[in-house]
Structure 1
């Protein structure tokens, strides 16, 4: 069974039927799957419950009606199956931080978000729960040389900042250098969204420019995940995957200054599949999966 095709089909059905009653039974029925297994699969692959996803897409669809000013808020709430206008208003304000009436009066513009793509990664079934596939393994110690910088995930430009520094390293190294590369995220303080990042390669390169460093990454016991696509575009899914992994596998995070390691097989192909290593505590063998 192609799980991704199943979820993609379900997302498309939802997108095309936001004006219709949508339930777990009805959506699961369109992909010929039991509602119980579909519920687990949908949550594992999208990182959201079906009800929350449908609510979010209905609110997203409401933006064009509010901003076109052609329908009343009551008409919009019934058109998109919210029922009472009060329910629509509460949900809208929760998601966007402003009431739909205020959005219309202030003539503000909130862009609609396209239907999200399905993040491709393998899944496994653990005691009836569907979770992103993982391996418990050692990340061997390694020396990495590269460019270091800081990012704040609360800033809108953090993705551009990471990509620009990655491009800079590729421009500064010898074009004959090939092989793996690493993106190391570290030193996130409690209740902070700031990370130190090093984008580097396992070579003893000498680049006499600011912000280039060589660091020794110690051996770490990790949960290893494999993804396809851009880490910067799957961040929310990764956070959900990791939280579900910790809960279902009964593992615990390691108290390490290194938060996450992203590895690519080819520094010249950063759109390829990659692995994520997340440090965890090494528990007794009989408690590990």
Structure 2
């Protein structure tokens, strides 16, 4: 089994045993690996620890039971493997910032943790730490033609849907019905407002021979890039990607090559329709 298969199986096992006190040793023994190695695998794939994930899932299911049943708090605590009312209350307060009783009485809103969906990607072991797989390449400047829009990844789902719609029509026109073979998507920050980002999606100028009116010119600067491979689109998995990149940076010791024109770019190659995987390029020094 690879790392993704191990963690997917472990999550299924955890979900089936939320009523029990699961240990790291019990989970690791299912895959004939040491608890330490299993801990590293789980944290690398999920970007959280086994203990934290189990606790948050137990508390989330307990929170649902508090709202949907009239069982008393103590019985719900025991149902999800807590040893006492006090232990349950401490955990609930720490994760949701409200006591179980107040949550039930006052209809307080909390962010429940759902069963985790694992993002498929490859990993490697570097300095005894498991990080997302990657390689490096030096690129010369790439001149692009395309369109640019303002985005807020985490704030407005409708905004992301609109961006995806625009990218879809752009791809249909210039790649599937045009002469270009690759789609590039550049993300950069607004120098005047760090909370805002601009997304530029375009094609290589050298690959397009049609009408260029209405297309904006941009360039991917020459640099050394770290390259990662992910499924889907950045807009759907950016939280996982950013956590992966934070860990990679801390382990690799590299520094980002900060550039006002680009933070990173995504490359969608000709086989994206078949593989549904894109390449993420991050400039480094």
> Under TM normalisation by the shorter chain, which class is it?
0.7 to 0.9
Secondary structure, counterpart of 1:254 in structure 2: coil
Considering only aligned residues, what root-mean-square deviation do their CA atoms show, in Å?
2.7
Counterparts of 1:96 and 1:271, CA distance in 2: 39
Query: Which of 252, 259, 266 is residue 262 of structure 1 equivalent to?
Result: 266
8 A Cα contact 1:9 1:31, kept in partner: no
Per-residue Cα deviation, 1:236-265 (whole angstroms, up to 9, x for no partner): 221121111111111112222211111111
Q: Following superposition of structure 1 onto structure 2, how do residues 189-204 of structure 1 map, counting pairs within 5 Å? A: 192-203=194-205, 204=208
Partner residue in 2 for 1:140: 140
Residue deviations 1:6-34, cap 9 Å, x none? Answer: 11111111111111011211111122221
TM-score computed with the length of structure 2 as normaliser: 0.85
Tell me what 2:225 maps to: 222
Q: Counterpart of 1:279 in 2: which secondary structure?
A: strand
Matches within 5 A, 1:1-289: 1-96=1-96, 98-107=98-107, 114-157=114-157, 158-170=159-171, 172-173=173-174, 175-177=176-178, 178-187=180-189, 192-203=194-205, 204=208, 206=211, 208-209=213-214, 212-257=215-260, 258-266=262-270, 269=273, 272-281=276-285
Task: Give the 3 Å change call, closer, same or farther, for CA 48–72 of structure 1 in structure 2.
Answer: same
Consecutive aligned runs of 4 or more in structure 1 exceeding 3 Å deviation: 82-103, 106-114, 170-175, 188-193, 203-209
Residue matched to 1:286 = none
Deviation at 1:114, TM superposition (A): 4.2
Structure 2 alignment gaps of length 5 or more: none
SS in 1 for 2:18: coil
**When the two structures are superposed, what TM-score results if normalisation uses the length of structure 1?**
0.84
**Deviation of residue 188 (structure 1)?**
5.2
**Aligned-partner Cα distance in 1 for 2:83–2:156:** 35
Give the drift of 1:3: 1.9
Task: Indicate the larger mover: 195-204 or 98-107.
Answer: 98-107
Q: What is the alpha-carbon distance in structure 2 between the residues aligned to residue 268 and residue 22 of structure 1?
A: 40
Q: CA deviation at 1:110?
A: 6.0
Number of residue pairs aligned between Structure 1 and Structure 2: 279
Q: Is the 8 A contact 2:96 2:111 kept in 1?
A: no
Distance 2:194 2:74 in 1: 40
CA distance in 1, matches of 2:55, 2:191: 33
Local SS of the residue matching 2:151: strand
